[in-house]
Structure 1
Amino acid sequence: MFNRSRISASGVARIFVVSVCLVIVVLEFWSGLREHDVELTESTRATSNVAMALAQHADQTFNEVDIVLLGLLERLEKDGNSKSGLARTHDLMVSRVGGLPQLAGLFVYDDQGNWVVNSQPTLEKRFNNSDRDYFIYHRLHRVEKPFIGKPIKSKSTGQWILTISRRINKIDGSFGGVVLGTIDLSFFQRFYAQFDIGKNGAIMLGSLDGTVLHRRPLLPDSVGKNLENSPLFQEHVRRSGSGSVEIRSTQDGVVRINSFRYLADHPLFIIVAMSKDEVLAEWMFHVWVRVIGVAAVLIILYYGGTKMVAQVKRREVAELDAIKSKRKLESLYKTLEAQSQKDGLTAVFNRRYFDDSLSSQLALLNRSGGILSLIMVDVDHFKRFNDTYGHAAGDVCLQRVAAAIQTAVQREGDVVARYGGEEFAVILPECDKAGALIVARSLINSLHEEKIEHASSGTGFITVSVGVTSIAVEPGHAITPRKMIEAADEGLYLAKDQGRDQVIFREFSPQARNRILCFDEEAA
């Protein structure tokens, strides 16, 4: 029978030390694996966020150029091909190229591909572009959307450019030529250079047919290369609008974390890739440091088990403090994120949040169709109020006006924002004209109840002028935030011209050029 009395104190201590060492080894191994997974998860989230930001930047870049193309189409329709008309169009094109950093040039071609007018200082007409992919596409397709072509070398400058173009229709609807904007690839190169993607990382802008439009780093064969046969494009990018995947490159054998995302408004995609080894480099360094540390601890434990107990306690305290610090930082980050969306004076949403929200709502509307209303509100005679009562009282006045607007806007998904100065804006998703007018009237009535004194106004208290617009469309439109804001602003300015303290509805139709003004007598 086993005799416990024969086990010496040194034996018990030795068993204790060995047991503790085994526990530490197991815990360290598990902790290292956990940190490995956390590091990969955070890196994947970071690359996904960068891909989303770059997709939004690319959309904005092409949308800004497309707005210029639409303006040129309107100018050509108005002025025609007369000598004086082309001279005015040339001046307009030169000014537009100077105003947009991404825009390298503007060109107009006739139905044979001949140069009609362009943005160059000297009108150059000796080239013919009937062989370009954009020209062939527009000649064969009658569409109302812009076409983004494959990367080409400019015939006038020799630089690699991207093209965005629209078709010119003759009076009978037949093909009349092309209006073209070119974007210098160096514009994307300069922007992408601002992102830290490591030595083996990559950023790629491509079209949905697999053509590479731009890449960082830019390799000799990058521009125009086709990715149709690559596993990343075939198995992931082609099948999903966004996602992240870890895959080994067939070109250099580097394992990368790839996050990709389609552009919202154009048939393009963005890929942001980070080398897995570079992502885990810091983690690996920490692992080796900890291995050396644990080895030293195990040696110390071999000679003195009692000291290990104190070491473990200190370690637990340190880990607990680290977790608490991390939670505090996460809480602080969420607080700062919420504050960045709010106007510091009125506590409603700020202009930046309004712009993002309206763009998102219209992007969804253009894709899926639906109803959206917009209200623009301006405080009447606010300058007089500041001159009479002072700017401090003006700040309090704006706070009370913002509170009154929020009282009138009841739904959780509605957005109340300070548009600028004494002007506010309200976005009403899934709200038609009747609902928007009810909100506008409620807004004015709420402010009437406030009765904010204003001796310099005609009524004796603060009033507001309100412009309202509403759209109801099927999928497939390309309505821009600017157009909708202009419609609501027109109603707002007319409300001011007709005596203030009233609501004017501005009918918005994506098919019609002219809008109908509706005077809302009930809100006057």
Structure 2
Amino acid sequence: MSAGTLGAGPPVDPSRSDRAMALLPFRTRAPLYWRSLVFVALACLSLVGLEGFRQWTARENRIEAIYRETANLAGSLSQQATNSLQITDAVLRDIADRYGDGSALDDDARQRLRAAMVGRTASFPLLQGLFIMDEHGDPVVTSVPDPQPRFNYSDRAYFDYHRGHAEISLHIGEAVLSKTSGNWIITVTRRLNKPDGSFNGVVLASISLDFFKRFYDGFDVGERGVITLVRGDGRILMRKPFEEATLGKSMLNGPVFRDLLPRGPTGNAETVSSIDGIRRFLSFRRVEDFPLVIIVALSTDEALASWRAATWQGMGTAIALSLFLAYLGLAMARQARQRDRAEQAVTASEASYRLLAENASDLVLKLDADGQPTYASPSCADILGYEPGPFVTLPYGGLVHPDDLPRLLAIMKAVAKNGHGSATTRVRHRKGHYIWLETSLRYIPAERGFIAAARDVSERRAVEDRLAATSRALDERRHRIDLIGRMAQRLPCCRDIREFSVTVECFVPQILPGVAGAFYLFTAGKGHLDRLAAWGDTAALMPAGFEAEDCWALRRGQGHIVGTDGAELVCSHHGSQPRPYACLPLVAQEKTAGLLYLQTAVDPADRDMNMLVETISLALVNLQLREDLREQSIRDALTGLFNRRYLEEAIELEIARAGRDNTPLSVLMIDADHFKRLNDSFGHEAGDHVLAEIGRLLAAQFRAGDIACRYGGEEFTVILPGAGQADARRRAEQLRAAVAGHAFVHQDRDIGQVTLSIGVATLPEDGDTADALLTSGDKALYAAKQAGRNRVVARVAAAA
């Protein structure tokens, strides 16, 4: 077939070239007008429906994110409450053990006990005061100055509770106004028994509500969000925002205690508050080991405000586009109606056909068996720019787009067999550009040729192409949002920053394919950022670290985007790397934790990019918060050393490791000599200064693998893995000499020389368990005290 050939068939009789065209009737079918209207209506409804579904999915994702955020915050607050109460319980146990049944409490013992209580109160900021009350409710020893006149506490609910219950377990009271300070407090108490088991009074720790208020104020839950600490019986102990009227209110008839807590210790729901009637999304968690419940709730109006704005914008855009499509569809339908009428008229007669062909807006062609036009209607000038006479001399195959020609030839062969068909192809206009023609073909056996009716559908194809592009964009965005959601589910589960960095490096290249980038983390207190993850072709060129001052985004506190036009300043850390690029600070809860660096231009209004940055930021700050809370739970606030709780865990592990590796282990029990006299002479503030200085010297004297702890009061303990008795004594002497030679000065006052008495115990000679080893160390310490203080003593257990 030649270049101008469109189809194959029997040879054409030249004598028939001017014969009137005979048309076969079209098969009955629905008019194209109505089919066009139905198609446009379905397209508009689909567009609006897809946008509605997308917005509904976005709402569900937003609610899921809210529940995840509030659940994480409730978990962190639950851990903080557990740590606070464990510390308080340990203090109460220690005070109760020191007091005993009170029978041996002379003036000296009372003063020592009071000093210990004052020391515990100073060591733990959450404690406002410590009290020991006798069986009549009168204070015996307190950590605060005795009020005049002295108060009696037998009317307090916690006193009645312990008087009527024989258990000595921890009891958490209601939020009350302190008789001593006049401040709001939470009482935490234990029962004291006489030797015969009868009631001997109460030991009490008062926790200031200001401690919880300051802590809770550090979390942003919106103007109408709340954080509530509730006792197991439904009584409110603390609520953010703080209002005295809500303290002690019962939540037993509220949805959390009535409907949710019976199902499990954790959960979330959308409820209406029984306190203020506001609808909120909430997450709750029972506090482990204690009868408390943490509730974190965000106002539904505030939490969904951004989603509502996005929904109005998205639906408005979809409706506007639907109206535009409807307008185009009506225009297409009008043309379709004209075509339907033209096809009906063609079947009537040759004369009717000629009349319609000469006046139709569609292009009507008669083609011979070789695909050469023998007739073209006058609309050829409007559609293709050619007058009918010159057009029929052109090879039609040469006007069809080369990519569409094989398909058109195949369709015409099929039409020659089946009688009718249709094709949509690109045909070159007289001005050189291509237009889309939708052509209906019928084979006329008598003429051995074709009748073709073609219409310009370029606008419709443009709309269809835009719809297809929009659909692809929606699919890509759904995939991107799904990846962000999967990353958001995994980031809160990371145990440390290494796993966090691996997760970011895994998901961000999938969310932003082909975009190189890096994740940088702030080094605490140094204003320096370190690269923890990098990806893409140019990852090796990205700096391993830089100062915060080198980045415009960190200076300004917002994203810094640099294009290729040279209209924006380039960060110093970027160097000669490719442009464009974007520096996006990772900020949550008013804290800048790191930086996301991307080698691409970022639209500040891109909601997906903002969601990606917010997800990483919030998860990173929550991870750092968890690590900070753990560090606070094992460190002594005054000295910075490990606390007694950590000591009890660490010594068991080190003893087990020493037994497994067959290596020595020693323990130093250390006590500051004449510390009470120092407190009495210079005051407790000076005493705290001395303890802090001793803690600093301890940390400086020992190796990184050694474990230095504050045992309690002026007592310290050091675990020396791998150290035998001789090595332990030598290092103890070095510490004793360092402290004895240190100049202790507080507020320009020379405190004088401070000395240490040190007892050494070694595994296994002085014991093979933690209790035995610490007891041997205590005995050696006591021997050092008895021998005149300011010395190191070892092997007391063997000597005894």
TM-score tier by shorter-chain length is 0.5 to 0.7
1:290 to 314, 326, 332: 314
CA separation in 2, counterparts of 1:118 and 1:157?
13
Matches within 5 A, 1:74-93: 74-77=97-100, 80-93=104-117
Q: Which amino acid aligns with 1:315?
A: T
Measured after TM superposition, the shift of residue 81 of structure 1 is 1.9
Q: What CA deviation, in whole Å up to 9, does each residue of 1:123-181 have, x standing for no partner? A: 76711101111111112212131111111110111111100011111222221111100
1:31 to 44, 54, 62: 54
Larger displacement relative to structure 2 (313-322 or 373-382): 373-382
| Corresponding position of 2:226 | 202
| Corresponding position of 1:478 | none
Contact conserved, 1:208 with 1:238, CA < 8 A, in 2?
A: no
Q: Which amino acid aligns with 1:69?
A: L
Q: Does 1:375 align with 2:399?
A: no
Matches within 5 A, 1:164-179: 164-179=188-203
| Corresponding position of 2:477 | 322
Larger displacement relative to structure 2 (59-68 or 226-235): 226-235
CA separation in 2, counterparts of 1:493 and 1:289?
73
Q: What CA deviation, in whole Å up to 9, does each residue of 1:402-449 have, x standing for no partner? A: xxxxxxxxxxxxxxxxxx94479xxxxxxxxxxxxxxxxxxxxxxxxx
CA separation in 2, counterparts of 1:212 and 1:336?
29
| Corresponding position of 1:111 | 135
CA separation in 2, counterparts of 1:422 and 1:333?
36
CA separation in 2, counterparts of 1:38 and 1:343?
24
Measured after TM superposition, the shift of residue 184 of structure 1 is 0.8
Q: 1:250 to 1:93 in 2, by over 3 A?
A: closer
CA separation in 2, counterparts of 1:317 and 1:263?
48
CA separation in 1, counterparts of 2:499 and 2:476?
35
Measured after TM superposition, the shift of residue 13 of structure 1 is 5.1
Q: What CA deviation, in whole Å up to 9, does each residue of 1:435-466 have, x standing for no partner? A: xxxxxxxxxxxxxxxxxxx9x99xxxxxxxxx
| Corresponding position of 1:489 | none
Measured after TM superposition, the shift of residue 47 of structure 1 is 1.7
Q: Which amino acid aligns with 1:287?
A: T
CA separation in 2, counterparts of 1:332 and 1:27?
25
Larger displacement relative to structure 2 (144-153 or 315-324): 315-324
| Corresponding position of 2:65 | 42
Q: 1:259 to 1:339 in 2, by over 3 A?
A: closer
| Corresponding position of 1:398 | none
* SS of the residue 2:769 aligns to: strand
Contact conserved, 1:151 with 1:224, CA < 8 A, in 2?
A: yes
> Taking every aligned residue pair, what percent have the same amino acid on both sides?
30
Q: Does 1:495 align with 2:779?
A: no
* SS of the residue 2:281 aligns to: strand
Contact conserved, 1:16 with 1:305, CA < 8 A, in 2?
A: no
Q: Which amino acid aligns with 1:178?
A: V
* SS of the residue 2:763 aligns to: helix
Contact conserved, 1:204 with 1:216, CA < 8 A, in 2?
A: yes
2:166 to 116, 124, 142: 142
CA separation in 1, counterparts of 2:277 and 2:112?
55
Measured after TM superposition, the shift of residue 506 of structure 1 is 2.2
CA separation in 1, counterparts of 2:129 and 2:264?
34
Matches within 5 A, 1:463-482: none
CA separation in 1, counterparts of 2:323 and 2:213?
54
Q: Which amino acid aligns with 1:105?
A: G
Matches within 5 A, 1:111-510: 111-121=135-145, 126-237=150-261, 240-250=264-274, 252-302=276-326, 303=328, 304-326=459-481, 329=484, 330-331=486-487, 334=490, 338=494, 340=496, 375-376=653-654, 377=657, 421-422=704-705, 494-495=762-763, 505-506=768-769
Q: What CA deviation, in whole Å up to 9, does each residue of 1:242-262 have, x standing for no partner? A: 222222235544322222221
Larger displacement relative to structure 2 (132-141 or 14-23): 14-23
CA separation in 2, counterparts of 1:241 and 1:313?
49
* SS of the residue 1:375 aligns to: helix
Measured after TM superposition, the shift of residue 44 of structure 1 is 1.8
Where structure 2 has 5 or more consecutive residues not aligned to the other structure, the ranges are 1-24, 329-458, 501-625, 635-650, 666-702, 708-721, 725-759, 778-800
Measured after TM superposition, the shift of residue 324 of structure 1 is 4.8
Measured after TM superposition, the shift of residue 352 of structure 1 is 6.2
1:67 to 90, 96, 101: 90
Contact conserved, 2:761 with 2:776, CA < 8 A, in 1?
A: no
Measured after TM superposition, the shift of residue 32 of structure 1 is 2.0
Q: 1:213 to 1:5 in 2, by over 3 A?
A: closer
Contact conserved, 2:138 with 2:152, CA < 8 A, in 1?
A: yes
Greater gyration radius? 2
* Cα RMSD (Å): 4.1
Q: Which amino acid aligns with 1:25?
A: V
CA separation in 1, counterparts of 2:227 and 2:240?
5
CA separation in 1, counterparts of 2:113 and 2:178?
21
* SS of the residue 2:246 aligns to: coil
CA separation in 2, counterparts of 1:58 and 1:294?
49
* SS of the residue 1:221 aligns to: helix
* SS of the residue 1:150 aligns to: strand
| Corresponding position of 2:410 | none
Q: Which amino acid aligns with 1:86?
A: R
Contact conserved, 1:117 with 1:124, CA < 8 A, in 2?
A: no
Measured after TM superposition, the shift of residue 2 of structure 1 is 8.4
Q: Does 1:19 align with 2:42?
A: yes
| Corresponding position of 2:511 | none
Measured after TM superposition, the shift of residue 200 of structure 1 is 1.9
Measured after TM superposition, the shift of residue 507 of structure 1 is 7.1
* SS of the residue 2:140 aligns to: strand
* SS of the residue 1:199 aligns to: coil
Contact conserved, 1:301 with 1:307, CA < 8 A, in 2?
A: no
CA separation in 1, counterparts of 2:151 and 2:279?
46
Q: Which amino acid aligns with 2:76?
A: A
CA separation in 1, counterparts of 2:116 and 2:183?
23
* SS of the residue 1:34 aligns to: helix
CA separation in 2, counterparts of 1:101 and 1:280?
38
Q: Which amino acid aligns with 2:762?
A: L
Larger displacement relative to structure 2 (257-266 or 293-302): 293-302
Q: 1:339 to 1:82 in 2, by over 3 A?
A: closer
CA separation in 1, counterparts of 2:488 and 2:259?
39
Q: Which amino acid aligns with 1:495?
A: L
CA separation in 1, counterparts of 2:302 and 2:54?
20
Q: 1:162 to 1:292 in 2, by over 3 A?
A: same
Q: 1:343 to 1:77 in 2, by over 3 A?
A: farther
Q: 1:101 to 1:317 in 2, by over 3 A?
A: farther
Measured after TM superposition, the shift of residue 325 of structure 1 is 4.0
CA separation in 2, counterparts of 1:375 and 1:421?
16
CA separation in 1, counterparts of 2:52 and 2:320?
16
CA separation in 2, counterparts of 1:277 and 1:505?
62
Q: Which amino acid aligns with 2:190?
A: R
Q: Which amino acid aligns with 1:494?
A: T
Q: 1:5 to 1:258 in 2, by over 3 A?
A: closer
Measured after TM superposition, the shift of residue 204 of structure 1 is 1.1
Contact conserved, 1:17 with 1:305, CA < 8 A, in 2?
A: no
CA separation in 2, counterparts of 1:235 and 1:334?
30
CA separation in 2, counterparts of 1:181 and 1:12?
81
Measured after TM superposition, the shift of residue 216 of structure 1 is 1.2
Q: 1:90 to 1:375 in 2, by over 3 A?
A: closer
Measured after TM superposition, the shift of residue 212 of structure 1 is 0.9
Name the TM-score, length of structure 2 as normaliser.
0.43
Q: Which amino acid aligns with 2:197?
A: G
Q: 1:327 to 1:258 in 2, by over 3 A?
A: closer
